[in-house]
Amino acid sequence: MPIYTPPLRDMQFVMHEVFQVADEFKALPKHADVDVDTINAVLEEAGKFASGVVFPLNISGDEEGCTLDKATHEVTPPQGFKEAYAQFVEGGWAALSCDPGYGGQGLPFVLNQCLYEMLNSANQAWTMYPGLSHGAYEALHAHGTEEQKRLYLPKLTSGEWTGTMCLTEAHCGTDLGLLRTKAEPVPGAPEGTYALTGNKIFISAGEHNMASNIVHLVLARLPDAPAGSKGISLFAVPKFKVNADGSLGERNPIYCGGLEHKMGIHGNATAQINIDGAIGTLVGQPHKGLAAMFVMMNAARLGVGNQSLGLTEVAYQNALAYAKDRIQMRSLSGTKDKSKPADPIIVHPDVRRMLLTAKAYAEGGRALATYCAILIDKELHHPDEKVRKDSAELVALLTPIVKAFLTDNGWTATTLCQQVFGGHGYIKEWGMEQFVRDARINMIYEGTNGIQALDLLGRKILGNNGASLKKFGKLVAALVQEEGVNEKMAEFINPLAGLADQMTKFTTELGFKGLQNPDEVGAAAVDYLRVAGHLVFGYFFARMAQVALREVAAAESQGKPADPFYQAKLQTARFYFAKLFPETAMLMRTARAGAASLMDTDAALA
């Protein structure tokens, strides 16, 4: 059976020692009273819930899956899911970072980020039910009418109701301009009331009995809608109609017509949704639905990166424990444990390579995800408009990196951790093959990673002439200037500074090529995103090494042994820069190879 221990020490290191979140919160009036002790207490209780309540349901939920009653269109999740969700709601976890005006606790978003990392490690399929609800809450909070906020937000905040995002149709995924679902005004009904008709597929948590109502956020077209993405509107369509007093009315004709049979995340109801004149209300302005939905989509993209971060962590923990226990062969450099007939496999260099790759991807991913969550807190609550704007711009730049880089890394890490188990990794009872299967979806949904790469290079960087990239570059430059003469930091700072210097020329070169032929951007984008991802990881690993070196030096100056935690952090950073960071040289070379070898291939692909 798999194991999971919440990585509280590393979360606290990132939050308190690297980013000093409590000091950041002092500049945010809404969070000024949130101190280190409060943060640690919340993290500890969140870890107990994730590991004690949700994690034990992971394997059984995967084996059982969800069940659809075709006569009633009702879906029953795996045994124990509903009861765990009731505990989640009772514990106030759904309301953790929501607006107190709607019953939320008003704690910083970064705490929500840490909660969901642990939940994803424990059980990704279960976590998708409340996770999507939080995205629906954010979209309605930002773009809903006062009436919609009054009716829906208190229930979504408490977790009494859940939410979904209904975008995809059978003939269109990311290209939402092709969608066909229609919305017709309802005669005699209040303004903004529509009857929706259409079909959606791949709707995560689309139907279940864990909550008394489900608020579907549905993209559809009004009768006068222009063609393409400029003709899309967003609607709130509840499973049960909601009366003016907030009580539930009759069943709305928005039903689950089938469940997808999937490779992974079996415990989550991925539903085919049939909409037959269901009553909904317009969210935001007519034909401006994508702007409103992008609030939820961007939250979901950060959330998907967090899913892979969680899987990377739990897969690593299990592979590490197995490698310490499993004996196989003797060490190449001589026997390490004479009391046993063979040495534990952790003595072998390649096993350590696999373990350290997963560990580095988990720790780098945690630093990036935490940083983005802090930026979101500042974007929402900082009193200085410039800080809010700068934070929003950095979040926009980093979102496709979080989604694509962390999920690519998560697939690599879970696969390597499965490999550590050898043949046992292929056997279900160890749990590793489930981590691999669950991780694979994260590279696909909420915009495939290729689309994230196009978004990063085409829109977020070339689209504003590199202004956002330069803002991140200034952070790197400041760290290089601060530590450039510190010999102990050279092994971290020098490769980071080298890549930062190359990045401007590399980006400019691709931009010029793209002006001549847009396919050049498409051909280079995936490689480019990984280079950018390593630049970001390199920056955070250098910052983590900076703190670790400082703590080691402080201990030595007092004649005390250094905390092994900091030694481990330095060793992981050294591995990252030695074995993973150099991938950037190959990636820049393949990105510069151009589009011809991809596009001049009609004969090869005939």
Give pLDDT, residue 135.
Answer: 87
Query: In 3-state terms, what secondary structure has residue 153?
Result: helix
pTM of the model: 0.98
**pLDDT(295) > 90:** no
Beta strands in 32-160 (DSSP E): 67-69, 74-76
C-alpha closest to that of 296 among 146, 142, 156: 142
Vertex 390: Cα angle to 384 and 394 (nearest 5): 145
Mean pLDDT on 484-493: 96
What is the amino acid identity at position 560? K
Q: Which of 446, 483, 520, 551 is catalytic?
A: 446
Instruction: Check: CB of residue 186 under 8 Å from CB of residue 193.
Output: yes
Give pLDDT, residue 291.
Answer: 85
**pLDDT(538) > 90:** yes
Give pLDDT, residue 460.
Answer: 97
Over residues 42-90, the pLDDT tens digits come to: 999 999 999 999 999 999 999 999 999 999 999 999 999 999 999 999 9
**pLDDT(176) > 90:** no
Active site residue 446: yes
Mean pLDDT on 491-499: 98
Over residues 368-409, the pLDDT tens digits come to: 999 999 999 999 999 999 999 999 999 999 999 999 999 999
- Percent above pLDDT 70 for the chain: 100
Give the whole-angstrom CA distance, residue 139 versus residue 510.
Answer: 35
Residue 242: beta bridge partners? 248
Give pLDDT, residue 202.
Answer: 97
Give pLDDT, residue 479.
Answer: 98
Give the whole-angstrom CA distance, residue 359 versus residue 580.
Answer: 12
- To the nearest 10 degrees (0 to 180), the angle between helices 385-420 and 519-557 is 90
Q: Chain-wide mean pLDDT for the chain?
A: 97
- In this structure, the strands spanning 193-203 and 233-238 are unpaired
Characterise 532 by phi-psi region: left (phi > 0), alpha (psi -120 to 50), beta (else): alpha
Give the whole-angstrom CA distance, residue 400 versus residue 405.
Answer: 8
Joined together, the tokens standing for residue 20 give 């000093």
Over residues 122-161, the pLDDT tens digits come to: 999 999 999 999 889 999 999 999 999 999 999 999 999 9
What is the amino acid identity at position 202? F
Give pLDDT, residue 161.
Answer: 98
Over residues 570-594, the pLDDT tens digits come to: 999 999 999 999 999 999 999 999 9
Provide CB contacts within 8 A for 162, sequence distance 6+: 129, 130, 132, 133, 136, 156, 205, 208, 210, 211, 213, 214, 215
Give the whole-angstrom CA distance, residue 490 versus residue 497.
Answer: 10
